Structure 1
Amino acid sequence: MDIASKVILPQHQLKGEVKQKNAFGDGRSRRVLQDIGNLVTERAPQGKKQVSEVVNAALAANGIALKKGVVAGKAVADQRKAIDKPKPETVIVISSDESDQETKHVSRKVSREEGSSRKDGKAFSSVLTARSKAASGLTDKPKDLIPDIDAADIDNELAVVEYVDDIYKYYKLAEDEGRVHDYMDAQPEINEKMRSILVDWLTEVHRKFQLMPETLYLTLNIVDRFLSKEVVPRRELQLVGISSMLIACKYEEIWAPEVNDFVCISDNAYLREQVLVMEKAILGKLEWHLTVPTPYVFLVRYIKASVPSDKKMENMVFFLAELGLMQYPTIILYPPSLIAASAVYAARCTLEKRPFWSETLKHHTGYSEDQLRGCAKVLVTLNSLASKSKLKAVYRKFSSPDRCAVALLAAVKSLMPAESL
């Protein structure tokens, strides 16, 4: 029992009176948890005349004649006591002498009673809001419901369902910062074909090391951003490639390959010290800015929005996207989010997933079908030429059964330019 909650009474009072007043004192001192707003106190009738009228009506209803004198006076007095006597209040008592279980039971009971008295009422502000919307024509109109693509991941903490929409809004705003702009004219010894050869080789290295998909996309982003800031001799282009993949592995992988692994896979063309020096030079030029939205970031989200989706659809999207990354004009002309959305659109057309572009995809990508046709035609054209190209790393990668052999599927003719048919 809390000492502060005790009520000290004079000893000359009767035992019953002490007990009654003590209980009333305890209850009055512990009204903190009581919702005073829910108490409704009835007013007692004012004046003797009103009291007598109430008594007369009550006795008359029971068939008892009211007589003048002591009986009537006693009845009136009893009735006045009944009216003037305050009704007992429901008080929640929290004390160390009582069990926690009993206290929780009382709290739940009061909460249910309060909730039942409030649930039927509407807040005045909500009524005003509804009226203002109706007056301005902003009432909800029937429309096709967009399914919640994150409903299955509501219990997955890594999916960050509460923030995922805001994250991708930020990615769309920040993609220009990590986007590569035309730099080939500033490189006297490097051309577009050399870059494609390097990307083809890095794709093969990525596959042999069995690295994460995001590592490849970040590697190519680092290569292009560094080449846009630094003039690189032809003999060091491969060194830039392995050093960029080393950085990407340290950023994305749990178990990253060591420096000697990259030296060996490049057929000892460079020394270990050269790789470390180039790694430091790349990080310095990029100012250690490695957190950029690559096409992979958008691909994962847009594939999820492409409902229904399966393994074949997923591999087809990645196949088209990686074909696009090999070509220098593609990464220069289109932002990462547009490349990812176009790969999804072209894949749905190839696999005849109807509709080719849904309201769900439009909502999550922010692109309409007309905005994607130009880039999608480029990706479909690259798909049709992949089997004849000398650079076959991506084609071989997606021709394997574990990739559903999507590279062997015929390119959709509806998106191919007329001259290539």
Structure 2
Amino acid sequence: MATRNQNLIPQQQRGAAVQKQKAVVGKGGEVKSRTALNNISNNVENVNRPITRSFGAKLLANAQTQAVAAPNKKPVTLPSDNQIAPRVPVPRPATKKQVKPVPKQNEVIDLDSESGKGTKPMSISDPRPKKREVHSLTSVLSARSKVACGISEKPNSQIDEIDLPDVNNHLCVVEYVEELYTFYKQQQHVCRPIDYMDKQRDINPKMRSILIDWILEVHHKFELMPETLYLTTYIIDRYLSLEGVARRQLQLVGMCAMLIACKYEEIWAPEVSDFIHIADNAYSREEILVMEKEILNKLEWYLTVPTAYMFLVRFVKAAKADKELEHMIYFFAELGLMQYSLIQYCPSMVAASAVYAARCTLKKSPLWTDTLERHTSYSEPQLLNCAQVLVNAHVAAPDNKLKVVHKKYMLEQFGRVACHPPAVGLIEGLKSVTPSSSS
């Protein structure tokens, strides 16, 4: 309270002085003289006023304003409540730095030393980092494989015409795809199934057809990859070529063959419980695992084999097939899986015969082209016997009890290609005119 009274007295006195200085009114109410009160910040020494918080803030603001207006002026000192105030440093006004022009790319500038001697020109390159070229994992692995095998990239003039659209697709490996299929044609004779029905006492070709028909149905229901289907058939035939099987175990062999093929080809393979359910609990989990192990040991874990599907993919490309022709080719190929008599032919011939039978059914002209003969390595006469087996299967498909393939290719998504009339007369006419060649 005492401090407040001390601060109040000078303010009242100063207020009265200000009222005296405002105006002097003469006679008639005219203003004779008027003295305005100067800025308080300019008369700090003449005003005997204690510094309060609000008043000190005003003085500081005014002092900073004046310092900005006159940067060479000394900072203002403000008294505190005890008439002694610390010196308040006034911030200097911000001055803009002179920005040196950035030299353009490849511009040569001279950097002089203090003595001005020994100047050397210096070239300034583009400071921006160059964009890093990104390579995919597939391209890196392909490049390393080529270097390891000593294979250099072929120019486009040496690439086959059917592979030119896929030059930029590293997964097609157009540089050495022909060498791959040359290797496949050599390896298809290794570990190839043989005619085994004479060695089997409890099974016959009809029972095998029933098993493959069931395998086709399970494959379609599980929506598996086509590679899985063809590998499953190979494992079944290969195992039956090496081991005798009882009638009750035939379906178990088919289940385990598909289980192995799924583990080899599929990303998400069906589990053992799925096969138990699909077989209506005919076999236990232990029986399936024991048979799976027995099959793998009998095949010596050799599963990397060129099946007919590998050749189908290449031959469909060589035929420049549209969707209808492509569906028809796969229709004949799946019909061929059920025909035990085709086991005598190698996978590449079965695939080429499926292409030939499909072109005959759709009446393509010509029936066999030079491009197909070059890529399949088979002439038209060499395919007639195998193609006739496929066409006869097409004839019997509508009335056959085993009609999973026929029903599948009667669907709209496969173009209903099974509805086309079989090319029996065309094949028989060609056989009568052209002498056939053995495989």
| TM-score category of the 2 structures, normalised to the smaller one | 0.5 to 0.7
How far apart are 1:162 and its partner, in Å? Answer: 1.3
- SS of 2:188's partner is helix
After TM superposition, the score normalised by the length of structure 2 is: 0.62
* Aligned: 1:192 with 2:183: no
- SS of 1:388's partner is coil
| Aligned residue number for residue 352 of structure 2 | 341
Bigger helix share: 1
* Aligned: 1:323 with 2:335: yes
CA offset digits 1:269-301 (Å, max 9, x no partner): 000111111111110000110010110010010
CA distance in 1, matches of 2:288, 2:392: 37
CA distance in 2, matches of 1:248, 1:398: 23
| Aligned residue number for residue 216 of structure 2 | 203
| Aligned residue number for residue 404 of structure 1 | 415
1:381 to 367, 392, 405: 392
How far apart are 1:413 and its partner, in Å? Answer: 3.2
CA distance in 1, matches of 2:396, 2:290: 38
What RMSD over aligned residues (CA atoms) do the two structures have, in Å?
2.2
| Aligned residue number for residue 369 of structure 2 | 358
Contact 2:159 2:174 in 1 (8 A): no
- SS of 2:397's partner is helix
| Aligned residue number for residue 237 of structure 1 | 250
Which amino acid in the other structure matches residue 150 of structure 1? D
Contact 2:184 2:306 in 1 (8 A): yes
* Aligned: 1:213 with 2:226: yes
CA distance in 2, matches of 1:278, 1:377: 36
CA distance in 2, matches of 1:412, 1:99: 77
1:302 to 306, 312, 315: 315
How far apart are 1:178 and its partner, in Å? Answer: 3.6
The 4+ residue runs of structure 1 with deviation greater than 2 A are: 97-102, 413-418
1:250 to 245, 263, 270: 263
| Aligned residue number for residue 414 of structure 1 | 425
CA distance in 2, matches of 1:266, 1:157: 41
| Aligned residue number for residue 290 of structure 1 | 303
Larger radius of gyration: 2
Choose between structure 1 and 2 for higher RCO, CA contacts under 8 A separated by at least 6 residues.
Answer: 1
Q: Which runs of 5+ in 1 are unaligned?
A: 1-15, 24-94, 103-144
| Aligned residue number for residue 168 of structure 2 | 155
CA distance in 2, matches of 1:337, 1:178: 15
Q: When the two structures are aligned, how many residues end up with a matched partner?
A: 284
- SS of 1:176's partner is coil
Which amino acid in the other structure matches residue 420 of structure 2? L
CA distance in 2, matches of 1:161, 1:178: 28
Q: Which runs of 5+ in 2 are unaligned?
A: 1-116, 128-157, 430-439
CA offset digits 1:236-288 (Å, max 9, x no partner): 10000000000000111111111000000000000011111111111000011
2:272 to 259, 278, 281: 259
After TM superposition, the score normalised by the length of structure 1 is: 0.64
Contact 2:392 2:424 in 1 (8 A): no
How far apart are 1:356 and its partner, in Å? Answer: 0.9
